Structure 1
Amino acid sequence: MVTRRFGGRRVVVTGAARGIGARIAERFAAEGADVVVLDLLRDPGAAHAAAIGARFVEADLTDVASARAAMTEAIETLGGIDVLVNNAGILRFGSVMETTPEQWDEVLAVNSRSMLLTTQVAAQAMIEAGDGGAIVNLASMAGKAGGAGQVAYAASKSAVIALTRVTALELGEHRIRANALCPGYVLTEMGAATRTQEQVDLWSSYSPLGRLGTPDDVAGLALFLASDDGAYLTGQAVNVTGGMIMH
């Protein structure tokens, strides 16, 4: 039996057309939340929103004006906001010596700067409403452990962790909580074309549980952090790595 922890709650999930974000949005909707799927991918985003009983708002999170306008539209569509899940992200490979300034800027614009923009808009609405709220940011294991060949990605996810901690410190007085999730290897569409079965087997061996993560592993914790059960958690960067990272 599905619980209804989020009945009447208004939730925005970015990057929710597919992958982890899609499952997070689906789980919120199943537990009674009124959800907006915010994504650049118009057709899959609109289709997923329709399938789960949510609404869709298109956004280019690399563009400052678009990110702010889309977030404003999403909140107006919901009539307010109680939960923001910043999930949108991209993965680009490149070493320290190879990565160009343009590649660096692209990754940080999507993975880090967009979260600042959406948080600013959402937090302002939460403060004006006076009811508090919860922000959940998707970071990564790479934000704590680095990742050879992923310098921009790892840096962007470290920035997410830092942004989350400062958000928690500054907005706690308004009863707004902010936490980050640090998933390990999770099998989604992102990066699917670049991995082999041998790589999957190797990565699985890094976990004491002997497997990789699933979108549900991440979604379950995201919902917990946004729920009343997580009411005394803020400023945390919680690992969802199957024990690959334990700090």
Structure 2
Amino acid sequence: MTHASPVPTARLSGRRVVVTGGARGIGASIARRFRGEGADVAILDLLEEQGRATAAEIGGTFHRVDLSDEQNTRDALGEAMDALSGIDVLVNNAGILRFAPLLEISVADWDAMFQINTRAMLVTTQVAAKRMIAQKSPGKIINMASMGGKTGGAGQGHYAASKAAVIALTRVTALELGAHSITANCLCPGYVLTEMGAATRTEADIAQWSSYSPLGRLAQPDDVAGVAAFLASPDADYLTGQSFNVTGGMIMH
């Protein structure tokens, strides 16, 4: 059964939004949803061709970034904020996923996972939050964690640990930036059936994972984008420091 996308509203009208990893998958769905709800959107991604195509499709801007490079990250985000004439919402969506048994994870693999999934998020949060504070206006930071950050997963020691760190970083961000009217929340998706995910999983895999949800299906990127749009909207102004499970009930804590 195909899950229908909700009808867009204008509740994000005038919001200036930066989405990292917005070229494809969940990030592209978030960018489309935000733009459909009236936001001005800038996409940051390493995938230049796909990023430019997505930005052109939604009428946003694209800025190439290498999140493993601190200075390039700062520069690219600064460029994106300048293009938007400021920033109201930062969506830290970009991340990588690799598999390895616990006893075979190298220090280099561990560091690479944290470099993209967690350290880059710290850098973008610092840069965007300073701009939000200087603007003297409320801001929102939405971080992409994972169900794995709460439950772990065999073969995902470095990934799960990096996403658990995202949850902790989000809470500290909420605690420290609340005085500036900046909220910080994170999303913890389960199995999301992106184009890449569908191409690397068999029908049996998809059926098995679907059975773990009381709803009997996997998430579509739009399922995650809808929750992100809610968190970016005025409806979520009093929510901060929370990690929201977008798992179809696969976990309930």
TM-score (norm 2): 0.96
Q: CA deviation at 1:194?
A: 3.5
Tell me how far apart the structure 2 counterparts of residues 192 and 139 of structure 1 sit (CA, whole Å). Answer: 20
Report what 2:127 is aligned to: 121
Picking from 65, 74, 84, the partner of 1:78 is 84
Tell me how far apart the structure 2 counterparts of residues 9 and 213 of structure 1 sit (CA, whole Å). Answer: 26
Deviations 1:89-135 (A, max 9, x none): 11100121011111111111111111101000000000000102000
Tell me how far apart the structure 2 counterparts of residues 195 and 112 of structure 1 sit (CA, whole Å). Answer: 26
Assess if the C-alpha contact under 8 Å between 1:208 and 1:243 holds in 2.
yes
**Percent of pairs identical after alignment?**
65
**Which runs of at least 4 in structure 1 moved beyond 3 Å after TM superposition?**
189-194
Q: How does 1:1-247 map to 2 (within 5 A)?
A: 2-247=8-253
Tell me how far apart the structure 2 counterparts of residues 114 and 196 of structure 1 sit (CA, whole Å). Answer: 32
Assess if the C-alpha contact under 8 Å between 1:91 and 1:191 holds in 2.
no
Q: 1:189 to 1:111 in 2, by over 3 A?
A: farther
Unmatched 5+ residue regions in structure 2? Answer: 1-6
Assess if the C-alpha contact under 8 Å between 1:146 and 1:154 holds in 2.
yes
Q: CA deviation at 1:191?
A: 4.3
Assess if the C-alpha contact under 8 Å between 2:8 and 2:33 holds in 1.
no
Assess if the C-alpha contact under 8 Å between 2:171 and 2:185 holds in 1.
yes
TM-score (norm 1): 0.98
What residue identity is the alignment partner of 1:91? L
Report what 2:4 is aligned to: none
Tell me how far apart the structure 1 counterparts of residues 90 and 205 of structure 2 sit (CA, whole Å). Answer: 33
What residue identity is the alignment partner of 1:135? I
Assess if the C-alpha contact under 8 Å between 2:25 and 2:194 holds in 1.
yes
Unmatched 5+ residue regions in structure 1? Answer: none
Q: CA deviation at 1:193?
A: 4.6
Deviations 1:59-80 (A, max 9, x none): 0001111111111111111110
What residue identity is the alignment partner of 1:204? S
Length, aligned pairs only: 247
Q: CA deviation at 1:58?
A: 0.4
Q: CA deviation at 1:195?
A: 1.9
Assess if the C-alpha contact under 8 Å between 2:12 and 2:232 holds in 1.
no
What residue identity is the alignment partner of 2:160? A
